[in-house]
Amino acid sequence: MPRRVRIAVLAAFVAGLLAVSPALAQPGVAAACGPTAPAERLSEPWWTARHADVLAQATRRPDPEVVLLGDSITHNYEKAKLPDENFQPTWQRFYAPRHALNLGFGGDTTQHVLWRLRHGELDGVTPKVVVLLIGTNDTAQHHSAAETACGIAAIVGELGQRLPGAKVLLLGVLPSAISPAKSATDAAVNAALAMRYAENAQVRYLDVGATFLARDGTLDTSIFYDPRLPGRNAKALHPDTVGQERMAEAIEPTLAALLQSARPVPLAELRNANTAVIPVPKLEQDSYDWHARHHAELALNGTTRPKIVLIGDSITHFWAGPPVAARRNGPRAWQRLFGASPVLNLGFGWDRTQNVLWRLRQGELRGLAPHEVILNIGTNNLTGTEHARASTPAEVVEGIAAIVAEVRRETPGSRITLMAIFPRGALPTDALRAPIAETNRLLAERFAHDPSLRYLDIGARFLKPDGTLRDGVMLDGTHPSEAGYTIWADALARAGLRR
């Protein structure tokens, strides 16, 4: 089946899943999509013994900051087998300092986790955050996406009842190489969960699956240990030592934000996982309401049919256009370029590539079919804050490539114009000039000859011959003035923008 057809089928399946299971689309409704029957494995001696040990641990250690709840991927943190299954160093780095409790049981499905919760495994325990990773064994046993998502929802509901003061960090089902059918079902589960828990105060959904993908979007099986097990001929399912560490790093920024306590590892040291490709909502506090703007975008999505959509950060946000922003720094340039054409501005101040990915997966392009999509993103990735580390130029390019792929999935008939990152700072020696130049070099290497999009680098038009910023083109060294937006508008017009 062609890739585009598979995507269309998956989208239709998810839509149907949500239609017949409304609880999956309604945050805060636990397991209303149907009862999930708890199930035990007491006939397996090791499982019974581990359950008893967990009950004893809960009695001895009632104060873990974090509980990790799940199947063998979580259970594996207790292994220290070189070289492929040496997970204790990662546990000691991220979770031991938080007095974490490991409630992972190899082979468990959602039904088994639910039984364990109802039989005392969290009694008397008061964590701040529960990290829940479950569902892969359900889909491996051919449970449907609806059954698996409902099972996960039942666990989340149980956690809410038993630990009303705790946050739940719900991880998407990890990618595997078991079968195309399982991968499609896992993707449907993740899509349903992402929609249900998009803005839930107690539950943060996080899909770290991109951490395990190669540059071409296929699964990087080299960071799973199953294919290397002697005599097994097994397919990739369990992350190996490198993969597990990468997963922990991908989780860490969100986990740290939920805990609001001292981090065992500074964000700047998390270099194994590319956070630029992991979708997350708002990261930085700004002068506008990020979530309100997102809902305004969704409302416009449902009532307008734009011919042109712009996607980006504050540089796009502050240009002009609907939804109307408090700042409009280039209204005359906007009118000159777009005139009466219906245009939608999906620019959000302070956004990084990971924020754009989250917004797109929450429907900001869904159902639209614009002639043109103009993408200008990446500059904020190159700066670090207490909420997100600075990305390398190569990581930024991967984040932008992920957005391009998402746009192509949502609106395959649109022509994409990808903008190189604009220069920042008055002088050529300013700190961000070099990483921006390197990012643009890598973008050109990857996209300049891609016939499916138009790559446009207009950075030199903002600069004097000596590399200093031209007078009056930017308000603060980053955000264009009316004159700066005129430069951008003229470049798009010359490039043949279809209005």
CA angle 32–17–202, rounded 5-degree value: 50
Mean pLDDT of 145-151: 96
| Beta carbons within 8 Å of 180's beta carbon, 6+ residues apart | none
| pLDDT at res. 2 | 37
Q: Is the pLDDT of residue 10 over 50?
A: no
| pLDDT at res. 35 | 67
What pLDDT digit, counting tens, does each position of 371-428 carry? 999 999 999 999 999 999 999 999 999 999 999 999 999 999 999 999 999 999 999 9
Q: Is the pLDDT of residue 496 over 80?
A: yes
Between 379 and 25, where is the model more confident?
379
- For residue 93, what are its two tokens? 């780095």
| pLDDT at res. 34 | 63
| DSSP label at residue 484 | H
pLDDT band at 23 (very low <50, low <70, confident <90, very high): very low
pLDDT band at 33 (very low <50, low <70, confident <90, very high): low
Q: Is the peptide bond before 412 cis (omega within 30 degrees of 0)?
A: no
What pLDDT digit, counting tens, does each position of 184-215 carry? 999 999 999 999 999 999 999 999 999 999 98
What pLDDT digit, counting tens, does each position of 48-97 carry? 999 999 999 877 877 899 999 999 999 999 999 999 999 999 999 999 99
Q: Is the pLDDT of residue 31 over 80?
A: no
Measured CA to CA, the distance from residue 483 to residue 328 in angstroms comes to 13
Q: Is the pLDDT of residue 172 over 60?
A: yes
| pLDDT at res. 19 | 39
Mean pLDDT of 272-291: 96
| Beta carbons within 8 Å of 46's beta carbon, 6+ residues apart | none
Q: What is the pTM of this model?
A: 0.91
CB distance 106 to 44 below 8 Å? no
Length of the chain: 499
The domain 3-273 belongs to what CATH superfamily? SGNH hydrolase (3.40.50.1110)
For β-strands 415-419 and 101-104, DSSP reports them as: unpaired
Token pair 């961000």 in the structure block, residue = 432
- For residue 142, what are its two tokens? 């051919």
Between 59 and 33, where is the model more confident?
59
Domain at 290-494: CATH code = 3.40.50.1110
Mean pLDDT of 271-280: 97
- From 3-17, 143-157, 394-408, the region with the lowest mean pLDDT: 3-17
Q: Is the pLDDT of residue 32 over 90?
A: no
| pLDDT at res. 499 | 79
pLDDT band at 162 (very low <50, low <70, confident <90, very high): very high
Closest CA to 121 of 149, 85, 159, 150: 159
Between 29 and 52, where is the model more confident?
52
Strand partners, 396: none
Mean pLDDT of 304-327: 96
CB distance 485 to 334 below 8 Å? yes
Residue spans of alpha helices (H) in 163-289: 180-196, 241-259
CATH 3.40.50.1110 domain position(s) in the chain: 3-273, 290-494
| Beta carbons within 8 Å of 243's beta carbon, 6+ residues apart | 211, 212, 223, 224
Between 459 and 232, where is the model more confident?
459
Closest CA to 103 of 124, 142, 134, 141: 134
Three-class secondary structure of residue 52 per DSSP: helix
Amino acid found at 12: A
Indicate if the alpha-carbon torsion angle 283, 289, 293, 296 is positive or negative.
positive
